[in-house]
Amino acid sequence: DAKTTQPPSMDCAEGRAANLPCNHSTISGNEYVYWYRQIHSQGPQYIIHGLKNNETNEMASLIITEDRKSSTLILPHATLRDTAVYYCIVRASGTYKYIFGTGTRLKVLA
Amino acid sequence: NAGVTQTPKFQVLKTGQSMTLQCAQDMNHNSMYWYRQDPGMGLRLIYYSASEGTTDKGEVPNGYNVSRLNKREFSLRLESAAPSQTSVYFCASTYPRTYEQYFGPGTRLTVT
């Protein structure tokens, strides 16, 4: 399984875009990138995932570099409720296992 | 549609006691998971079950056993609790087409 590296913490001003980077330089061709977030001590919540192409949904956008060695999760207009720990995870196609790292603690500032 | 439910929400055990954490999902998902999360850490996979009748070890299976009772239920048993097992335990299930994981609210376990 590919390993991911994320900065331990980031701040973002309310209303601004939050750009959370993730490095997955050992990713292989059949591995997907997933993003989850965990607010307080609740169970993690799925945000978005992708393989090669950029993806967008109602919560966020996922930008994956052409070489797939890194990705960025974008929250376009961060609110105080987006304060959470964000996890970037790589999952191989056809496998059931997720390996969570320690994530990025995002604090949205008023 | 309750999603993933876990019982109990909180539990305090003495060293050496046993207990079973219960998890159920009503989304008809095939695969289910147990994770633990220690303070300030990410989640670590204990066991998972790809489908009814199968279970596999994750990263940290020692000290735990699991039972996939049926498609809905996946339980985690601590036979002889140790202080190192003090943690928050999360159960999850996976939507088959996209492998999105849905998590329960967690069980906060303290072993003294």
Which pLDDT value is given to residue B97? Answer: 83
Tell me what the pLDDT averaged over chain B comes to: 94
What six digits make up the tokens of A66? 């052409």
Neighbours of A57 (CB within 10 A): 11
Alpha-carbon span B43 to B60, nearest angstrom? 11
Q: What is the 3-state secondary structure (H, E, C) of A8-41?
A: CEEEEECCCCEEEEEECCCCCCCEEEEEEEECCC
- Please say whether the beta carbons of A43 and B106 come within 8 A: yes
- Please say whether the beta carbons of B85 and B78 come within 8 A: yes
Query: Which residues in chain B touch residue A91, judged by CB atoms under 8 angstroms apart?
Result: 99
**How many residues comprise chain A?**
110
Contact B45 A36 (CB under 8 A): no
Q: Is A37 on the interface with B (CB under 8 A)?
A: no
Contact B59 A99 (CB under 8 A): yes
pLDDT, tens digit, 9 for 90 and up, residues B39-57? 888 899 999 999 999 999 9
Which pLDDT value is given to residue A91? Answer: 85
Which pLDDT value is given to residue A1? Answer: 60
- Averages of pLDDT over runs of 10 residues in chain A (110 residues) are 87 97 90 93 94 94 95 97 95 78 94
Question: CA nearest A41: which of B32, B107, B11, B2?
Answer: B107
pLDDT, tens digit, 9 for 90 and up, residues B88-105? 999 999 988 888 999 999
What share of chain B has pLDDT > 70, as a percent? 100
Question: CA nearest A54: which of A36, A27, A74?
Answer: A74
Which pLDDT value is given to residue A15? Answer: 97
Q: Are strands A104-109 and A9-13 parallel, antiparallel or unpaired?
A: parallel
Beta-sheet strand order (sheet of A70-75): A18-23, A70-75, A61-64, A55-56
Contact A43 B104 (CB under 8 A): yes
Q: Position of tokens 């939507």? A: B95
Q: Is B31 a residue whose pLDDT tops 80? A: yes
pLDDT, tens digit, 9 for 90 and up, residues B9-30? 999 999 999 999 999 999 999 9
Q: For A39, which residue in chain B has the nearest alpha carbon?
A: B105
Which pLDDT value is given to residue B2? Answer: 80
Q: For A103, which residue in chain B has the nearest alpha carbon?
A: B42
